Every structure is written in C-alpha cells, then in structure tokens.
Amino acid sequence: MVKWGQYSHPVTLLPCHPVTLLPFHPVTPSPRHLFTPSPRHQKLKNMAQITSIAVMTSGGDSPGMNAAIRAVVRTGIYCGLDVYGICRGYDGMIDDQIEPMLSSSVSNIIQRGGTILKTARSARFLEYSGRLQAYNNLKAHKIDALVAIGGNGTFTGASIFDKEFNFPIIGLPGTIDNDLYGTDATIGYDTAVNTVVEAADKIRDTANSHERLFFIEVMGRDAGFIALRSGIACGAEFILVPETTTYIDNLARLLRHDWRRSKTSGIVIVAEGDDAGGAYEVAKKVKEKLPEVDARVTILGHIQRGGAPSAFDRVLASSLGYLAVKGLLEGHRGEMAGIVKQEVVFTPFEKAIKHHKDINKEMLEMSRILAL
C-alpha cells in the first residue's frame, strides 16, 4: 500500500479525456428490498429458510435502541428479507400493530434516544391466549423470525414463545442496568453512566459551594453497575450497591472521619436497590448519626434512560443488530447476541437471565481509596 506522502518526486498527470454519460433512468425500488443480496447472503438465508423477520422493543427503553432497530432493518433488507416493525412490544404483537419497514423507515434515527417502535410491558403476554394471538398475527404476516430488543422480562417471554410455537427469536440486550449475562455491556448502559456523571458533576459544584453532603440515587434495582462506574467517574466518596451489605454505622463513622479531616462536601452514590434503602432512607439514617452534616438528596430517575446515545452505544447497538440478523440466517435461535472480550457470543435466554453477572468488588475498594 502506498501511503500519502511516500514519494517526493513530481507526478505527471495523464491528459483528461471527456466522458460521455449515459442517460439516467430512475428506478423505483421494490417494497421487498432496496438492494440485491449477494450469493453469500442468499446461501445464509437458505440455511434457515427465513424470508421475513420482525423487530420489536420491549420493557424499559434504553439509549441506542433506535440504532439497533436501524441495523436490524437495513441488514435484513440487504439480505433480501421482508422486514416488519412491531409497535409497543408484546402488546403490539397481540394487537397486530405490525408494519412493513423500508430502509427509509429508519433514516435519521441512530442519534435519537428512546425507540421509534415504542415499548411496553405486557400482562396479556403472560397468558397462553395472548401468546397464541401474537403467534397467529405473526404467521398472518408470514413472518418467520423475530429480533427482540430488551432485558430480562423480554427474554423470559421470548424463551417461552419459542418453545411453545417453535418460533426462532434472537434477543438483543437493551437495558441500562447492564445486568444480563453473556455480554460485557448492554445497549444504553454507557449512555446512562455518562448521564449520571454529568449530573453528579453539577451537583458536586453546589455541594462544594454550600459545604453539603449529597446522596444521589441512581437506577439499579437488582444490580449496581451504573452506581459503581458512575461513582468512580465522578469521584464519589461512597458507592452503595445491592451486591454488598451497607452498614449505616460504618458509613456514618467514615463520613465523620472525612469531615474531621476538613472535608466539607461529599457525594454518596446510592443504587435504588441498596439493602439499606434508597437515597432518602440512607440519608435519613446517616443524618440521625451526624446531625451536624448538611445532607441533601437527589433522585436522578428517568433522565438516565433518555437522551442521545453515546458513540459507544451507537456502535454496540449497530453491531448487535447486524449480528442478530446474521445469527438468525445461520440457524441461531432462543439466544441473546452479545459481545464478550470483543468476541461475538450467543447465549441461551435461560442462561442470560438466570446467571448472575458479578460486580467487580475490587473496583468498589478502589473507589474508596481514591476518594480519601
């Protein structure tokens, strides 16, 4: 390969000859697909006998879902498949809210938060009658396989549906909690962490100005991944997560030690599922033991789910969306697509849901050392 600037001698340009352009005849693309699939992709399609797929988002939304939808739709179209979008998750599947998707359907969405397909939690899908209606609707549209973007609840429903109706489904890990086994990061996790860090940095400014201690509650009912990573990034004095036991007496003693060392402000990141309670409960208990400290509470709430996805989440979602379609065509089913140590991994739904993803407790120790 010749690199730019490799040669220093003059270059003689060949004379330019005019080129006659052939007349342009516009072609209207077929609704079925916009690209002609390559022979290799035709072979992949024939392996699983799939000609039509659908994509949906379910459960809590997360930044990057739109990027994943875009990747599924355009990869499916490139492979010569009919692609459908299901609005409002499993409820939309039951109510036949199923629409064909073209490449233009997903234009200008990679940078948008939320999900253009909407999302919902479905009580009706818990009943066999609801799942049967959903299956009948899919077959009425001649849909052969499904890409489901969501978390634990989404994959639990997908696993049952696959077994009952022999219907191929690949899951994409779309949740800010990063609590699914079988992937290093879930879609939306990185953006949520950055949202928390940005908010905590602003709270740190006012904490310093007023010499206050702030307890900031972040999402994480069962897992403390958001709390841990954001707490380290914003230099929190303490990080409380569901995976460890919180001893209020010990927390109060350490905070008192910090204040006696002339530390006049602080941040405590509290995951909502911490065993000592949420931020309000923890702050109340600490205040009883440290009445001299001016303590305040901030609940960040659903701002962690919104906003434009980070570059990391856009690339992750795009990669997983592409891999989901490729996996279906190669015969994968009943599995979640993930990336572990930069390698593509397909993990059975049951394993992704039931296997516990351990938090790095050494990072918790490190966070306390660095906050001294």
Judge whether 75 and 326 are in contact, CB under 8 Å.
Answer: yes
At 40 the pLDDT is 47
Query: Which domains are present in the chain?
Result: 39-188+309-354 (3.40.50.450), 190-306 (3.40.50.460)
Residues in the chain: 372
What tens digit of pLDDT does each residue of 98-136 get?
A: 999 999 999 999 999 999 999 988 999 999 999 999 999
* φ, ψ of residue 15 in degrees (nearest 5): -60, 145
- pLDDT value of position 62: 96
pLDDT lower than 50: segments of the chain: 1-46
Q: What is the pLDDT of residue 78?
A: 95
What are the phi and psi torsion angles at 146 (to 5°)? -135, 140
Amino acid (1-letter code) at residue 317: A
Q: What is the per-residue pLDDT across 227-280, written as a single tens digit (0 to 9) for each? A: 999 999 999 999 999 999 999 999 999 888 887 777 778 999 999 999 998 999
pTM: 0.85
Q: Which of 82, 144, 177, 313 is the catalytic position?
A: 177
Per the CB < 8 A criterion, the answer to whether 187 and 313 are in contact is yes
CA 62/CA 114 separation, integer angstroms: 6
Task: Please measure the distance between the N-terminal and C-terminal CA atoms of the chain and give it in whole angstroms.
Answer: 52
In angstroms, rounded to a whole number, what is the distance separating the alpha carbons of residues 99 and 84?
5
Share of the chain above pLDDT 90, in %: 73
* Cβ count within 10 A of residue 32: 14
Q: What is the pLDDT of residue 47?
A: 65
C-alpha pair distances (Å), 84 with each of 29, 56, 70, 76: 17, 9, 12, 10
Closest CA to 173 of 147, 146, 150, 148: 150
Max Cα–Cα distance, the chain, nearest Å: 87
Q: Token pair 């991994």 is at which residue?
A: 345
Is 177 noted as a catalytic residue in this protein?
Answer: yes
Give the whole-angstrom CA distance, residue 337 versus residue 170.
Answer: 7
238 touches 371 (CB < 8 A): yes
